[in-house]
Amino acid sequence: MNGAQTLIRTLVACGVDVCFANPGTSEMHFVAALDDVPEMRGILGLFEGVVTGAADGYGRMTGRPAATLLHLGPGLGNGIANLHNARRARTPVVNVVGDHATTHVALDPPLTSDIESLARPVSRWFRSSGTPGALAGDAVAAVEGAFGPPGGVATLVVPADVSWQEAGQPASGHPGAVWEPVAEDAVAEAAKALRSGEPAVLLVGGNAVRRRGLAAADRVARATGAKLLCETFPARMERGAGIPPVERLGYLAEFTIAQLQGARHLVLADALAPVSFFAYPNLPGYLVPEGCEVHTLAAGCDDAPGALEALAEMLGAPPSPRGVQVASRPDRPTGALNAQSLAAAIGALLPEGAVVSDEGNTSGLFVSGATAGAPPHDWLCLTGGAIGQGLPLATGAAVACPDRPVLCLEADGSAMYTNQALWTQVRESLDVTTVVLNNGSYAILELELSRVGAADPGPRAKSMLELGHPDLDFVALASGMGVPAWRATTAEEFTVQLERALSTPGPALVEAVLR
C-alpha cells in the first residue's frame, strides 16, 4: 500500500469520507488512490476557494471534517480566504496539501514555496508528514486536530514521495469533539450578575445558537429579564417557527452600541465581547459600554449549551422556553423588485428544513426578518468577513445534507469570487437554489467610503465600487456551467422564478435585478 492509499484509508477509518479537491502533479498518487478506496468521495472544485469553502459548509452541517486536497503553496494560497472563514467558524477541516518530493525541494523548482508560513495563520494544527511510516499516525492526528475542541483547520502537508512510497497499514481512530463541562464557578458568577437587578445582556454565539442552546438561553433571559442577543455572524444558527428567536448584533458599530446601551452586565455564552468590524475616526472599537462588567459563562472548549442549561437550573427558570417563534410568513409580494419585496418572496417560500447560506450582504438585509417565522431552518453566516464564501459553503452544505433544500443568498460582487462552485453543484447533482442579489455594485463599500471619512469620492473612486460597464449577466454565467437560470425584474417574476427554482431538482439560479 502506498502512502496515498494509506492516507485515504486512514481518513475513511476516522470517519472522513468526503474530499473536496483541486489537485496537481504532486497529488497524482492521491488522485489515483481514489479508485482503490471507493469509500472516499472525491469532489472536484475548479478553484481552491471553492474547495475550502465547501469543506467549511460540509463541516458546519455535519460537525465532522471533510478533507481538502490542494496543490502546494499556490493552491493553498488560493484557498486561504475561505480557510480563514472556516477558522473563524471553528469548523473542523482536514486540509491536505501536496508538496514536492522531499528529495526535490532543495532544487527550488518553480512551485516551491513556504507552505508552512501560508498555512499556520489559518490552521489550529499543522504537520508536514516526513516519512511514509509516519503518515497513518499523522492522518489520525490531523483528524483529531480538526475536531479540537474547538474545531478548526488541521493542515497536513504530504510530500509526493511520501505518497508514492510503501507506507504500511492504515491506522484507525474514533476522533470526535468532547466539549468540557463548565465549572460551577462560572455558572454561579453569571447567575449572580443576572440576579443583580441591574440591566444585563446575555450574548450567545458559536455552539449556543442551535436549538438546545437557544432554548436554555430563552429560559435564562425570561427568568431574569436579561436581554438576549446573538453574535453578528454565527457560523450556524437554528431559527424559525417553534425555536426561540434571538436578535443578532448589528454589523454597524452604531447599531451594536444602541443594542448594548445601558447594560451593566454582559454574560458571554460562546461569543466574544463585541468589537467594531473596522475602526472609524469617531467611534469606539470596543463596543461593550463603559461600566459594563463582562462575565464569560462559556468559551473555547466549553460545552456552551450545557452551561446555559446549568445556568437556567441554578436560576430556577421554568423548564421549557416560553418565547418560541410563532409560525408566520409574509404574503407573496407584488410590484417593484427591491430588497424588501425580495425578502418577502423568500419568506413566503422558504422550504421547511432549508439550509441558508447567507452572503446576501446589503441587499439581503431584510431576509432575516422576513424568514423569522418560516418553518425551522439553519442559517450560515460569513464568519470571517472574507467574501466569496456563499456559493462554496452552500455546495458543501448540500453534500452534507442531501435530503435538505439549500438556499444560497449571494450578492453580485461576492458571487464573482467563487462562482465556479455552480459547476460542482451540477456535477454532483446538489439541490442548491442560488439567488443572486444583483445591485450592480459593491454597495457596502459605497457606504463605508463615507463612514470612514474619506474625501468626497470622485469618478475614479466611484468606478472602483460599481460593477457595471459591462453589467454582469448571471443567467449567462450560470448557463455556461450547466445551471438552469432565470432573471427577475419585478416582485411577481421573482416569486414565480424562486418557486420554480426551489422545485427544480439539482441546482438552479435566479438573478434578482435590484436597481
Ligand X SMILES: Cc1ncc(C[n+]2csc(CCOP(=O)(O)OP(=O)(O)O)c2C)c(N)n1
Task: Please give the residue ranges that form the binding site for ligand X (CB under 6 A).
Answer: 81, 361-363, 385-388, 411-414, 439, 441-445
Q: Cell 449556543 maps to which residue?
A: 208
> For residues 11 and 512, which CB has a smaller minimum distance to ligand X in the complex?
512
Give exposure, 46-77, as e/b (b: 16+ Cβ within 10 Å).
Answer: bbbbbbbbbbbbbbbbbbbbbbbbbbbbbbbe
> For residues 6 and 439, which CB has a smaller minimum distance to ligand X in the complex?
439
Are 303 and 221 in contact, with CB atoms under 8 Å apart? no
Smallest separation (angstroms) from ligand X to the CB of 67? 23
Q: How many CA atoms lie within 13 A of 371 on its CB side?
A: 27
Smallest separation (angstroms) from ligand X to the CB of 45? 17
> For residues 366 and 442, which CB has a smaller minimum distance to ligand X in the complex?
442
> For residues 165 and 438, which CB has a smaller minimum distance to ligand X in the complex?
438
Question: What are the grid coordinates assigned to 187, written together?
Answer: 455558572
Residues 6+ apart with CB under 8 A from 408: 356, 357, 359, 390, 391, 393, 394, 432, 433, 434, 435
> For residues 213 and 360, which CB has a smaller minimum distance to Mg ion in the complex?
360
Question: What are the grid coordinates assigned to 210, written together?
Answer: 442551535
160 binds, among Mg ion, ligand X, none (CB under 5 to 8 A by kind): none
Are 28 and 158 in contact, with CB atoms under 8 Å apart? no
Smallest separation (angstroms) from ligand X to the CB of 464? 9
Q: How far apart are CA 218 and CA 239, in angstroms?
A: 13
386 binds, among ligand X, Mg ion, none (CB under 5 to 8 A by kind): ligand X
> For residues 168 and 250, which CB has a smaller minimum distance to ligand X in the complex?
250
Cα angle 278, 279, 281; round to 5: 140
Binding mask 366-405 for Mg ion (x = CB under 5 A): ----------------------------------------
What residue is closest to ligand X based on CB? 413
81 binds, among ligand X, Mg ion, none (CB under 5 to 8 A by kind): ligand X
412 makes contact with Mg ion (CB under 5 A): yes
Q: How far apart are CA 158 and CA 435, in angstroms?
A: 38
Identified binder of Mg ion from the candidate list 413, 435, 488, 495, rule CB under 5 A: 413
Smallest separation (angstroms) from ligand X to the CB of 336? 18
70 binds, among ligand X, Mg ion, none (CB under 5 to 8 A by kind): none
Smallest separation (angstroms) from ligand X to the CB of 68? 18
The alpha carbon of residue 457 and the mean position of all alpha carbons in its chain are separated, in whole angstroms, by 33
Smallest separation (angstroms) from ligand X to the CB of 237? 20
Q: To 10 degrees, the CA torsion angle through 381, 387, 388, 392?
A: -20
259 binds, among Mg ion, ligand X, none (CB under 5 to 8 A by kind): none
CA distances from 87 to 25, 79, 388, 408, 443 (A): 28, 12, 15, 21, 26
Smallest separation (angstroms) from ligand X to the CB of 361? 3
Residues of span 437-456 touching Mg ion by CB under 5 A: 439, 443
Are 440 and 389 in contact, with CB atoms under 8 Å apart? no
CB-count exposure of residue 1 (10 Å: 0-12, 13-18, 19+): middle
Smallest separation (angstroms) from Mg ion to the CB of 69? 32
**Candidate segments 17-25, 190-198, 396-404, 406-414, binder of Mg ion by CB under 5 A:** 406-414
For the beta carbon of residue 365, count every other beta carbon within 10 angstroms.
Answer: 15
Residues of span 290-349 touching Mg ion by CB under 5 A: none
Smallest separation (angstroms) from ligand X to the CB of 447? 8
209 binds, among Mg ion, ligand X, none (CB under 5 to 8 A by kind): none
125 binds, among ligand X, Mg ion, none (CB under 5 to 8 A by kind): none
Smallest separation (angstroms) from ligand X to the CB of 326? 30
Helix, strand and coil percent figures for the chain, each rounded to 5? 40, 20, 40
Range list of H helices, 91-210: 115-119, 132-147, 160-164, 184-195
411 makes contact with Mg ion (CB under 5 A): yes
Q: Is 22 left (phi over 0), alpha (psi -120 to 50) or beta?
A: beta
Binding site for Mg ion (CB under 5 A): 411-413, 439, 443
